Structure formats: structure tokens, C-alpha cells
Structure 1
Amino acid sequence: MQLDHSFTVPADPDDAWKLFQDLDRVAPCMPGAVLDTHDGDSFTGRVKVKVGAVQMSYRGEGTVTRDPAARSMLLDLSGSETRGAGTASATVTATLTLDPAGTLVRVRTDLDITGRPAQFGRGIMTEVGDRIVQQFAARLEELLRDAGPAASGVFTTGAAENRQGRLAPEPEAIDLGAAALPVLLRKAAAPAAAVLFAVVVIQALRRRSPR
């Protein structure tokens, strides 16, 4: 499954590129995710998602390859459910270019997922992806606007702890059910309307039929 997204951040491409190379600062901006360890171009982390009353946690690893000249980075990611047989792997390419509003970030994701989330299909996964990217972009914008030294100190401390192999706090689950609900309703609208129409017709025929 291939997903394409884009968003802008209020910074020039050089500053945005420097931020994107700092995984210890960028990773906390991703909803439902936490970075556990980071060593050079390799890292490990966890993702927690929720679909209604069902909650799923993934543990995985990844590598990052950077192309400074093109301001492009490639992430190879793989993971599996901590309690379940589901797996997920993705190749994510992010490219930064100049934009009148700052920097345009284009993200292409080639996703392969098994287990319960795979039942949603492309339409719902695209909708969910759009909402996750919107939250990610909003947090990145907040991070870029926050020039205070206190925030940098917090991130630096967290990065040091991760390099020492200490697990970060448990991530807060992102609710995919809430994100997917509008799509589910749209997909169900036509069948529901057909059923409602049939019920109305049957009731009308019953009223007209002689007793």
C-alpha cells in the first residue's frame, strides 16, 4: 500500500533539514510513538494504537539514510505486535523543498501491514494517515516556534537516556477508531440507505395491501 502526504512547516529548508536529522527531537512529535534507543543511523521504538476498545502495541526498529544535497531521508521500518501476530513494515521517504510558507515536506510511505489494522483497507488507512500527519505537522510547527533553551535541554536529556538504553515512558495510544469513523460511516452510508429504502417500500406495500 502506497500513501502520499505533504505539509508545510514555518522554517527555511536549511533549518527544517537540521531538525529532521535530529530523531531524538522529531520522534516525540509522532502521535502514538516513542523512541527507545538511537545509535547512529539505527534506532528502536514503540507505537501504540487504539481502535475502539481494542488496543495494539508494536515494538520495532529502523534505519535512516540521508541525502543532504537533495534534503531527503529514507527510513526503513519494521515491527510486530507485542501481544499478537500482526506485523508492519514500511519504507518512508521524506523530501524537503522551499515553499512560500517555509518548507514543504513530502512524505511517501510504502506500507505492508498484517493483522487487525489490515482489515481497514486503503481508504481508511489513507484517512488515518492524513490525520496522523496533520498532528505530526502541528507538533513540528510548535517545536520550530519554540526557541527556548529549556526545551532543548529536555530533548538533550531524553536523547542521552535513550542512548544509555533506558526505555522512554509508555506512549499514549493514538485512537485510530476516532480517525477512521468518518470513513466507516461514508462506506456504510450507501448500504444503510438501501436497507432503509427497502424497509420504507415494504411498509408502504403492507399498508396498501387488503386485509
Structure 2
Amino acid sequence: MRLEHRFTVPAPVPDVWAALLDPARVAPCMPGATLTGVDGRTFAGTVKVRLGPVTLLYKGTGEFTSVSEDVHAAVLKASGKDTRGNGTASATVSVTLAGEDGGTAVSVVTDLAVTGRPAQLGRGLISEVSGKIAGEFADCLAASLGTGEAEGVTSPEAGARPRLHAVPDEPIDLLETARVPVLKRVLPFALALAVLVFLLRRRRHR
């Protein structure tokens, strides 16, 4: 699954670049993530994910496989497995920075593979959830640099994304995060169905 996101941080490119290459600064900005170790460009950590009453704990590792200082581009590969055997997740993340209006435009392309319970959300909802997580990450990154809020996260598929307000050190609740997108898709159908039932009942009483 390929996901694309873009956001702008009101800080110079060198500052944003240094922050993105530092796992200790990046991890606290990822909802549900905890950093457990760093060794050069390789790091280890956990990610807590909640699906309704079920909480999954992924343990895994990540590594910066490519870092191009001259063009401010990097590739990160990460993978993890739920400790109870309920699924796996792996991702290759390509990040590119560019100066824009005094700030830094961040482009992120993610090739994501998920198995187990989270995969049941489907591509559409995973895209919505990832957009909100990216928004939370962008705001946190901007705050850590002391430059205020980042501009809205966008993707080619759905334009601007609403923010996700995650609680630090708490699992990221995928169903709660996906609730609004689900309602937006189901509500028009439900309204149409209600109108149809009303019309049928009205005809019967005539």
C-alpha cells in the first residue's frame, strides 16, 4: 500500500533535517510509539495500537538505509510484529525536504504492508488514519523546534487532513481515529435508506 503525505514546518531545512534523523526526537512525536534503543542509524522500539477492546503491542526495529545530505533526502525501513502473534507491519519511508517560504516542505512516501487485525480496516480507512497520524507528527515536530504549528497535512487522494490529538504514551486507537471518516461515508447511505423507508410506509397507508 502506497501512502503520500506533505506538510510544511515553519523552521529552516537544516533544523528539520537534524530533527528527522534523530530517533530520540522523532519517536515522541509518533502516537503510541516508544523508543527502546539506538545504535547509529539503527533503532528499536515498540508501538501500541488499540482496535476497540483489543490492544496490540508491536516490537520492531528500523534503520536509515539511505541518507543524502546534499539533497536532504532519506529512506527509512522499519518492521515489527505483534507480541501476541496478531499481525505484522513493515514500511519503507522516503522523506524529502525542500525550502519553502522561509520554512521546510516535507514530502513523505510510505510503502506499507500490514497483516492481521489492522489490515481489516481496508485501504481507505488506513489512508485516513495515517493522514491524521501524520498531522499529529507534523505539529509535534514543529513544537519541538519551537516554531509553532505545522501547516495542514495533505495527500493526493484526499487533500487537507483533520488533526488527531493523541495522548502521549497511550495506544493509538485506530477505530476511534477512523470513526469520523466512517460516519462520513455511512451517513449519506443511512439518510437515503431512511427516506426510502418513510416513502414506502407512506404509500402503504394511502
TM-score range with shorter-chain normalisation? 0.7 to 0.9
Alpha-carbon separation, structure 2, partners of 1:196 and 1:128: 29
Stretches of structure 2 that go unaligned for 5 or more consecutive residues are 148-167
- TM-score, normalization by structure 1: 0.81
Return the offset for 1:101.
4.3
SS of alignment partner, residue 125 of structure 1: helix
Match of 1:173 in 2: 171
Alpha-carbon separation, structure 2, partners of 1:73 and 1:20: 9
Structure 1 residue 66 and structure 2 residue 67: aligned? yes
Query: Which has more radius of gyration?
Result: 1
Write out per-residue CA displacement over residues 51-70 of structure 1, whole angstroms, 9 at most, x where no aligned residue. 33332221111111311111
Match of 2:95 in 1: 94
Alpha-carbon separation, structure 2, partners of 1:205 and 1:101: 64
Write out per-residue CA displacement over residues 140-191 of structure 1, whole angstroms, 9 at most, x where no aligned residue. 1111018xxxxxxxxxxxxxxxxxxxxxxx9421122222011111222243
Match of 2:204 in 1: 206
Alpha-carbon separation, structure 2, partners of 1:56 and 1:175: 10
Alpha-carbon separation, structure 1, partners of 2:102 and 2:48: 32
- TM-score, normalization by structure 2: 0.83
Alpha-carbon separation, structure 2, partners of 1:113 and 1:18: 29
Match of 2:80 in 1: 79
Structure 1 residue 145 and structure 2 residue 146: aligned? yes
C-alpha contact (below 8 Å) 1:85/1:115 kept by paired residues: yes
Question: What are the residue-to-residue correspondences of 1:123-162 with 2, within 5 Å?
Answer: 123-145=124-146
Alpha-carbon separation, structure 2, partners of 1:83 and 1:63: 24
Alpha-carbon separation, structure 2, partners of 1:54 and 1:195: 32
Return the offset for 1:11.
1.3
Stretches of structure 1 that go unaligned for 5 or more consecutive residues are 147-169
Return the offset for 1:198.
3.2
Structure 1 residue 109 and structure 2 residue 110: aligned? yes
Q: Which structure has greater helix proportion?
A: 1
The amino acid of 2:54's aligned partner reads V
The amino acid of 1:45's aligned partner reads G
RMSD: 1.7
In the alignment of these two chains, the number of paired residues is 185
SS of alignment partner, residue 178 of structure 1: helix
